[in-house]
A and B are shown apart, each in its own frame.
Chain A
Amino acid sequence: MTLDPAAAERQLRRGRGVTLFGLAALAALFVVALRFTPPERYQGLAQKIFYVHPPAAYAMQLAFVLMGVASILYLLLKDERFDCFAEASAEVGLLFGGIVVLTGPLWGKPIWGTWWTWEDPRLGFTIIQLLLAAGYFALRSAVRDPVERARFSAVMGVMALLLVPFNHLTVYLFASQHPRPVVLAPERPKAPWEMLRVFFGGLLTFTILYLGFVMQRYGIAVRHALREERIDA
């Protein structure tokens, strides 16, 4: 068996450390964004969401792409660790996706005048990705045999990865057919450096959080897999 319980526990411990560090960075990000970054002229406080929302969206995307890559590697190498990683990454991606679709409307309502719009392609794209990941977990939970579950979910993971460019195409073409219903038309921000550096800090923070979460979740996935093996044996 390729799964090593000691290594999993090590990942879990390290992941906890990385997560703590990430959470501290997140707290610092909040303070810097709210207290030490100039307010945006038109959007005011609502603009502060930009230090959290796009980084979360980026982390979600990172998680799902790595899930797809892990799925390919599993099918090629049949190494269970890739399956555990794919499961971990997909679940962490689901979490970040949840953050994205919760924080987005909070900003959309005051600035666009609506909680949700299909005219911005990114919304449609995010929700399709989230539902795909949810379907992925529906499949995982429905297959009892661990080896079969790993193979099936890897197949779906690879398919989902291939779907990403088509989703992009669909939502962009769909959105380009409609005018955008915007209350305060926010131009593509030409943010000053004081804002940009906080934004990059946000990207870094969410990368750390992704790593911390995924390491812990990977450790848990390995634990589960080992327990399943013991029960079968």
Chain B
Amino acid sequence: MIPWRIVAGIAAKDLRIERRSRTGLLTALLFALMVQLIVVFAHDGGSLPLHVYAPSVLWITVALASLLTLNRAFHLERTHAALDAILLAPVPRAALFWGKWLANVAFVALVIVVALPVWLIWFDVTPVPGLLLLLPVALCTVAGMTAVGTVFSAMAVRTRVGEMLLPVMLLPFFIPPVYFASQATLQLLIERPFAAAALEAWRWVRLLLLFDIAFLTMAHMLFPAVVDE
């Protein structure tokens, strides 16, 4: 059984640190905007209009911003050996995982909420009813990516080249969720009634959910092996 009170406590602690310093969140936000800006100017300006790239850009941005966030997740614990203190406390290892995971998801979700309107404007996305479902799709995507990411970040932070190592380990795991999410987005962006868009997108979202369940379960089981001495 997972003690949810402890989970909430750990997540709240991480988010409180973020709220007080704000550097992490601000950096991630700026980063998410700059990735999109880079795409605008990398675009050849000719053959294809920008909105064609909209779904791809969105999920590339989410993937990269998640990487940045995850790199940070356990750096917080590294200063003053804070992680050792948590491990000494009667906190089940699995609860530590769920707490860190929850904080990471919340953090990335916050970045997405700010980046989405900018994306809508910059990439000339037609306002269709399906867009209302973009945030739930994003949550399903980030849930799975962050499940793997939280475990890997706890490992990477203990190595000498952590920041460089994490993307190399993690990006192959982002391929299925990014693909499913892009396809779901494609379905949501087609102009049609809300229910029709939702139904088509669901075909991809259920794959996302499958990924989430599989990797959250696995992360829950493997995380203790990462932090235990």
Contact = CB atoms under 8 A, between A and B. Distances in A.
Say whether A and B bind each other. Answer: yes
Grouping DSSP codes into helix (H, G, I), strand (E, B) and loop, the B interface class, with mixed when no group exceeds half, is helix
Interface string B139-160: 0000000001001100110111
A142 B165 contact: yes
Nearest to B214: A162
B172 interface: yes
Interface residues of B, number: 29
A45 interface: no
Q: What are the nearest 7 A-B pairs in CB distance?
A: A142-B159, A166-B176, A135-B169, A170-B176, A152-B155, A132-B172, A135-B168
B16 to A, nearest CB: 29
A169 B155 CA distance: 28
Contact of A151 (B148, B214, B225): B225
Contacts of A142: 156, 159-162, 165
B6 interface: no
Nearest to B223: A155
B207 interface: yes
A134 B162 CA distance: 16
Given A135-B168, A139-B165, A167-B176, A155 B215 contact: no
B172 A131 contact: yes
Contacts of A25: none
B31 interface: no
A139 B155 contact: yes
A138 B172 contact: no
Given A139-B155, A142-B160, A169-B207, A155 B175 contact: no
B173 interface: yes
A143 interface: yes
A142 B169 CA distance: 12
Nearest to B162: A142
A155 B169 contact: no
Given A139-B169, A155-B155, A162-B215, A128 B175 contact: yes
A144 B226 CA distance: 15
A106 to B, nearest CB: 25
B113 interface: no
B87 interface: no
A27 interface: no
Interface in A155-172: 155-156, 158-159, 162-163, 166-167, 169-170
Grouping DSSP codes into helix (H, G, I), strand (E, B) and loop, the A interface class, with mixed when no group exceeds half, is helix
Contacts of A136: 169
A138 B226 contact: no
B179 interface: yes
Interface of A: 75, 128, 131-132, 134-136, 138-139, 142-144, 148, 151-152, 154-156, 158-159, 162-163, 166-167, 169-170, 173-174
B175 A156 contact: no
A143 B158 CA distance: 8
B132 interface: no
Given A139-B155, A159-B152, 11 more contacts: A75-B222, A128-B172, A142-B159, A142-B162, A143-B155, A148-B158, A154-B225, A155-B151, A156-B152, A163-B172, A170-B180
B218 interface: yes
A158 B173 CA distance: 12
7 contacts: A75-B222, A131-B171, A138-B169, A142-B161, A155-B225, A156-B152, A166-B211
A173 B180 CA distance: 10
Residue picked from B156, B165, B175, B215, most chain A C-beta under 10 Å: B175
A170 B175 contact: yes
A195 to B, nearest CB: 35
Nearest to A177: B183
A139 to B, nearest CB: 6
Residue picked from B161, B162, B173, most chain A C-beta under 10 Å: B173
Interface string B177-194: 001100100000000000
